[in-house]
Amino acid sequence: MSRWPIAFLALIIALISYFFSHESLVLFGLVFSGFMGSRLLSQPNFRSFDSLGLIIVILEMATGVIPGAFPQIALPSLFLDSMQMLILVPILLFFFATNSEHKIQNHNQVDLMHGLLTATLIFIVLLGAIVISVLYGVAYIDGFLLTLFLVATLILGVSWFWNPGVGYSGMGVLWNRYAMTIGGPFETWINTLTTLIEEHYLTPNDYLKAACEHLVENDWLHAIQWNFKNSMVSAGEKTGTRIEHMINNDISVELYFTSNPGPALEQHTTLLIRMAYQFYLAKLNQEKMRAQEHFATIHHTGARLTHDIRNILQSIETSLDILGINYGSERQQALLQKNLTHISLRLENTLKQLKTPKLDAEIKLLSANEWMDKVEQQHHSNASIRFHRELTSNPALPEDLFDSVLDNLINNAMRKSSTGRVDVRLYCNSDIILLSVCDDGSPVESSIEASLFNQPVSSGSGMGIGLYQSTIMARAFNFELELSQNEAGRVCFNLFQHLQD
């Protein structure tokens, strides 16, 4: 930085101070009082110190500097000596007063508007005293006190009109209404960004293009072009002053202004562009989240159908076991026919779900007794599975739900090496429908139990996506699936519905 401008300014100030000493002191006093007045209004912790310093400057200017600058103003020597002695009192207070918060708050902050207001008020008081004294022949002290009274009355009146405090809106509300302008380029741009981000049909690039088309409608901007690594988005006609702004190493933005924008408008436009980029990233995140939800749905559907196919394979294995049992040919053929019919229906339902992912509106119902007869025949060859029924009523059961839950629970129980017996119990009365599947194997681990029905889990016992999908399916039919007992030798799962609820 060159020092010549600073040296030239210092020389001018020194010449003015030499040839116009008193006038330069008045100017210096006004500037100094403006600095202290700005801190007086903006920093309450230093109010006592700034007030004391401002009083010293005002008294010194009124009684020492002004009479020396204007020969028409003459003050008694005794009064001047008394005032100089009086001014020493607040000066001495600075050396003995302490401020414990001077390290907490920055004492160098200056509010320009408050400083100008303070300097202007002091200048009006001093100028009023001079004018009244010179033009009307009134004593300078009397003119000073009169001007001080008028200015104080004016300030009190303006402050009351600014905020009446009696339930009426004052000038402060009107000032804020016009100072805080709503409807400028910045506010309009924010409204455009927040409105377009809600349009889910827009891709990230379409969103960015639509937003830029709204921005180039301003008179001071002709065109915007976004340069990505493998694509480009532009809006408007590329004419006028070109300015390029780098978002990062892979993205840059070219701005075409109608004329040289200047630093303020350039920074303002850059801020708007960076805000648009943040909304663009939010739109990209929306697309990623939507894709993740889509893939999660595909994963759950595929896992559910895989589980159904695994159960079908289990039924095929049961059919093969029937072939190895020494039954009579007629009984053997009857069991095979029932199992193969069941396998055919299950495969048909699975293929329907693969072809049409929407839910089937038709719910297949089967009475409790008929459903128990069916599952007992399906698992008749497995001696480790025992069925019990306590039916005081014979309600209609959703066949798909009960088949899926039962197959899943039996497969999970039989997959455990410690399982020797599985008890299946169906209990129905006028209050509740309850299907209980208990085994004498090892319990479910506590770390898995907490999230068993809330999300897919992985464990050596095979309790993964099946129970999670069964829970979702059960809730669709207003049933609940729970782990009622979990201890060694007694692990029970219940599928139930309270008919009163």
Number of Cβ atoms within 10 Å of the Cβ of 20: 13
**pLDDT for residue 360:** 47
Output the CA angle 399-405-408, nearest 5 degrees: 130
Query: What is the overall mean pLDDT for the chain?
Result: 78
Q: Residue 470 in contact with residue 457, Cβ under 8 Å?
A: no
Q: What is the pLDDT of residue 326?
A: 52
Q: What is the CATH number of domain 378-501?
A: 3.30.565.10
SS3 464: coil
Percent of the chain with pLDDT over 70: 73
Neighbours of 48 (CB within 10 A): 13
Model confidence at 494, in pLDDT bands (50, 70, 90)? very high
Matching residue, tokens 């207003």? 478
- The amino acid at 7: A
SS3 at position 252: strand
Q: What is the sign of the dihedral through the CA atoms of 102, 104, 109 and 114? A: negative
Q: Which of 376, 311, 365 is nearest to 338 (CA)?
A: 376
Q: Is 328 left (phi over 0), alpha (psi -120 to 50) or beta?
A: beta
Residue holding tokens 């693969």? 354
Q: Which two structure tokens, joined as six digits, stand for 236?
A: 């408007």
Torsion of CA 257, 258, 263, 264, to 10 degrees: -100
Sign of the torsion formed by the C-alpha atoms of 292, 295, 301 and 307:
negative
Asked if pLDDT for residue 140 goes beyond 80, the answer is: yes
Region label for 169, one of left (φ > 0), alpha (ψ between -120 and 50) or beta (otherwise):
beta
When pLDDT is averaged across residues 291-319 and rounded to a whole number, the result is 66
> Lowest mean pLDDT: which of 8-17, 219-228, 341-350, 478-487?
341-350
pLDDT digits (tens, 9 = 90+) for 171-207: 666 666 665 555 566 777 777 777 887 777 777 888 8
In 3D, which of 391, 397, 407, 400 has the Cα closest to residue 366?
A: 397
| Contacting residues for 401 by C-beta, under 8 A, at least 6 apart | 473, 474, 477, 479, 495
Helix (H) or strand (E) holding 373: helix 368-378
d(CA 317, CA 206): 55
Which tokens in the block code for residue 482? Answer: 């729970």
Domain with CATH 3.30.565.10 in the chain: 378-501
Query: Do the beta carbons of residue 493 and residue 408 sit within 8 Å?
Result: no
> Rounded mean pLDDT of 163-169?
64
The two beta strands, 252-257 and 232-236, are: unpaired
Q: Which helix (H) or strand (E) holds 224?
A: strand 221-227
Encoding tokens for residue 248? Answer: 């990062």
At 434, the pLDDT band (50, 70, 90 cuts) reads very high
The pLDDT-based confidence of 56 (bands split at 50, 70, 90) is: confident
